[in-house]
Amino acid sequence: MPNWTLISNHGLVLTYIAEHSKSTAREIASAIKITEWTVLKIITELEREGYIERQRVGRKNIYYINKHSSLRHETIRHIKVADLLKTLGSRR
């Protein structure tokens, strides 16, 4: 079986957060089979670039997706995050 996928870890984290906005980094890591440290790094990068916002509620985070953001690569900048999530089967 190949060790690559068509969707990057960033895309997987973003998609998972879209469906499970109250998940912990540990839960995300377990679901998509990457390390918790990698998830934390990806969340930081997504937040820095404006794809997600993080709200602290007690000891937990709630994540909000900025669905109006455009994808980064120059060949697909015309595609919005909302369109990507819909294509990937997100119900939110």
CATH classification code of 9-87: 1.10.10.10
**73/79 Cα distance (integer angstroms):** 10
Mean pLDDT in the chain?
94
Asked whether the beta carbons of 20 and 91 are under 8 A apart, the reply is no
Question: Which stretches does DSSP call E strand in the chain?
Answer: 52-57, 60-65
Q: How confident is the model at residue 1 (pLDDT cuts 50, 70, 90)?
A: low
DSSP 3-state of 58: coil
Tell me how crowded residue 10 is: count the other CB atoms within 10 A of its CB: 16
Q: pLDDT by residue (tens digit) across 56-77?
A: 999 999 999 999 999 999 999 9
Q: Which residue has the tokens 């934390």?
A: 40
